[in-house]
Structure 1
Amino acid sequence: MKGKMILMLGLLASVSWQAQLKVLFDATKAESAGNADWVIDADVHNLNFNATGVTTSGSESNPQRFPTPAQNTITATTPETYWQGALSNWGIDLVKQGYIVETLPYNGSITYGNSSNIQDLSNYKVFVIDEPNIKFTDSEKTALLNFVANGGGLFIISDHNQSDRNNDGWDSPNIWNDFFTNNGVVANPFGVSFDLNSVSPSTSNFAPISMNPAILAGPQGTPTQMKYSSGATMTLNKNSNPSVQGLVFTSSASNTGSTNVMFATATYGNGRICALGDSSVPDDGTGDPNDTLYNGYSSDANGNHRPLLVNAVIWLAGSGSSNLNVQNVIKEKNAEVYPNPVTDYIYIKNNTFSTYRLMDETGKTLSSESLQENSSINVKNLPAGIYYLLLQSDKEVKSIKVMKK
């Protein structure tokens, strides 16, 4: 009972600390058509998606804005079956990390800067679009670009070619490529394009951790495997976006190259994107009873998809450059953190961030308090290892990797 109470207190502290960091999952682009069910929770299944529109006479998931039961009832031991959706495991894991999750329902609007839209993207830190099956309109493309440019994190998920689930002539890799090349703002803004193929590789061919330690060795662990179950690879173009980099590759590719990429990241303006070529990776195998689903999230690749996807959202919720460098004194926009490595106390000189959270590699919160101009964190009793210090203000979060000797 005591252990459970400690876990609950830790979860509540996490939720309080990151209360304004909201993650939105899209459901406006027929993400539950056919055998897809890329939603975190749906209480009814009365939709039908077809080439001419959406009706309410079918049997597909019709997710509501807020998942039920309410996310403030989730504890550290809540199972993913608490919600019904093929992305429920991912969503519940994010709540356990302190994020608020919502769905943009099928009749919602993708906008940025529209104060009359209660779910305008300016109200969210991360937007997840898992296998869209309806083309983005011109205004939606502009909204997505503005969202990222102004500090948002966009998680782009595709599937293999010829995966047109609602039979409207467009599948997800073509829809994403159309957004990249025909947005009316900038050609190939993220330096990513999806290959029109269908491949099913299993790989341990990851980029060096130094390429992006926040994702490759982040709070939820160090992922080392990935499995596609019919997905599309990517080709990267650093001339279009010099920041783009592959983090996972097929086994035959270079782990620092630009082809045969399975997972990629880039920055754009003040924001970030992650790109993944297979919707099977976040699929947890549960959801709409009318669909055929299987567990790729925690079973495939020996469970390595789970830390990769959660670490990725944590990284997307930050802002700025893609690398977190470990050094003796880390300067983060009017804040200094030192020493690093550390033996007894972490010292923080700061006039920007209001709170901190110290986590171990599993994502467990060890301490979370408000910050003064000069603050210190006692780590004497912590075992040697890697920890993560998250600094937060009203507008941003910075993640710093700290080594305890």
Structure 2
Amino acid sequence: MKKGFFIFIILIYISPLSAYRFLFDLTKHEDAGNADWVIDDDWPYPYPDNPVADTAWHGAISSWGYELYMMGHEVVTLPPWDSITYGNPEHELDLMYFDVFIIPEPQNPFSENEKQAILEFVANGGGLFLVADHNSSDRDQDGWDSPRVFNAVSPTLPDTGLLYGFGVDTIFGIHFNVTGEPSNYIDDAPDSNVNDLPSDSIIFGEIGRVYAISYHAGTVMTLYPSYNPSVTAHVWKTDMPHDTTYVMFATAEYGRGRVAAIGDSSPADDGTARPGNQHIYDGWREAGCNNRVIFLNASLWLAKSSSPINERNDNSLKINMESDYDIFSVTGRKVFTGKLNAFYHIDLKSGIYLLKSRENPKKTARVIILK
């Protein structure tokens, strides 16, 4: 006879223990060439579900995903065959179901529909993390590198006079330097030219203080507060003044959402990638730098905007055994769909799960299963 188990709703409203959902993009050939910018080679949900170390997941940014998972958050990959959408409740990996969308060095441009989806997601409260690389980092030889992909992320706008003025420049106020612009391919490590104001949530964040970061072949950013007054620099190239040029880490707000941007992917590299890849090193834990701290500080800062998925907690989720729900593991893997009276008969390990109403996906609760 199967043992029964109980479900307890332990969290309905926002609290410091809130679990956020992070979606890592893999639709833009982020694993091209020597790159392997994935949290795991199992998509969309990393495996195993309960890793005991970051080495359990295979990818150059597995440590990033693993550390978020260890904080109680969910990490998911948007697979190569999928698409970027916003506002489609039938799409399980729609941006509306996530707090933060992370794009690590994309190699292909976004379609107009994808651009619009990303912008609507941010405008409505989502967090967006842009990780670029140096100028001409075109790993699949299609004419696009990550700086140009990001510089062209917005729908077509009137000519602003900027060299690549049709993207994040005019929307978020952030421009990744490319051909003909200074410091588009730099090494700077350790770089301790950081903002020293304690009010800076990226430098003085939840995970700790950032004293220095590293760039190993990256590009700087130029900021345009005339387009977005909220755009802010947090790290500058060594010996450069604290203004809007030679920026190495930046953030901005757009609508009710937030954006973070960095011009090099190597600080996120944890030194692990697919077998046979020899062009890797551990930038995540690089001595004399606080790369992991700035990435995690920024990840949590992005998640804590007034995001769509957080709005689900504005009202309590009333449990109805006859209603339909989705239930997810802490890694984001869907483990059940249906009515809760049927859920009582399936076999799951004890632990914490996310319960989501199918009738209103913005309403969720965390549950404990005790067998």
Report the Cα distance in structure 1 between the residues aligned to 2:238 and 2:363, rounded to whole angstroms: 40
What is the deviation of 1:303? Answer: 4.5
> Does 1:193 find its partner at 2:170?
no
8 Å CA contact retained: 1:15, 1:97: no
Aligned to 1:79: 53
> What aligned pairs does 1:1-400 form with structure 2 within 5 A after superposition?
17-19=17-19, 21-43=20-42, 64-70=43-49, 73-74=50-51, 78-180=52-154, 182=156, 188-196=170-178, 197-202=184-189, 203-212=191-200, 214-255=201-242, 257-291=243-277, 292-300=279-287, 302-319=288-305
8 Å CA contact retained: 2:285, 2:291: yes
Residues 120 and 223 of structure 1: CA distance in aligned 2, closer, same or farther (over 3 Å): same
Q: Which amino acid in structure 2 is aligned with residue 231 of structure 1?
A: G
- Aligned to 2:152, the other structure's residue is in SS state helix
8 Å CA contact retained: 1:211, 1:247: no
Aligned to 2:368: none
Residues 271 and 15 of structure 1: CA distance in aligned 2, closer, same or farther (over 3 Å): closer
- Aligned to 1:205, the other structure's residue is in SS state coil
- CA deviation vs aligned residue, 1:240-279 (integer Å, no higher than 9, x gap): 0000010000112123x10000000000000000000001
8 Å CA contact retained: 1:283, 1:296: yes
8 Å CA contact retained: 1:34, 1:165: yes
Instruction: Give 5+ residue unaligned stretches, structure 1.
Output: 1-13, 44-63, 322-350, 355-393, 397-405
- CA deviation vs aligned residue, 1:324-350 (integer Å, no higher than 9, x gap): xxxxxxxxxxxxxxxxxxxxxxxxxxx
8 Å CA contact retained: 1:138, 1:183: no
Report the Cα distance in structure 2 between the residues aligned to 1:306 and 1:17, rounded to whole angstroms: 21
Aligned to 1:7: none
Report the Cα distance in structure 2 between the residues aligned to 1:81 and 1:306, rounded to whole angstroms: 16
- Alignment coverage as a number of residue pairs: 286
TM-score by length of 2: 0.72
8 Å CA contact retained: 2:211, 2:289: no
- Aligned to 1:173, the other structure's residue is in SS state helix
Q: Which amino acid in structure 2 is aligned with residue 166 of structure 1?
A: D
Residues 117 and 207 of structure 1: CA distance in aligned 2, closer, same or farther (over 3 Å): same
Give the share of equivalent positions with the same residue, in percent: 44
Report the Cα distance in structure 1 between the residues aligned to 2:315 and 2:301, rounded to whole angstroms: 18
What is the deviation of 1:18? Answer: 2.5
- Aligned to 2:113, the other structure's residue is in SS state helix
- Aligned to 2:38, the other structure's residue is in SS state coil
Cα RMSD for the two superposed structures = 2.6
8 Å CA contact retained: 1:25, 1:39: yes
Which of 1 and 2 has higher RCO (CA within 8 Å, sep 6+)? Answer: 2
- CA deviation vs aligned residue, 1:299-327 (integer Å, no higher than 9, x gap): 25x24011111111100001169xxxxxx
Residues 157 and 182 of structure 1: CA distance in aligned 2, closer, same or farther (over 3 Å): farther
Report the Cα distance in structure 1 between the residues aligned to 2:15 and 2:28, rounded to whole angstroms: 30
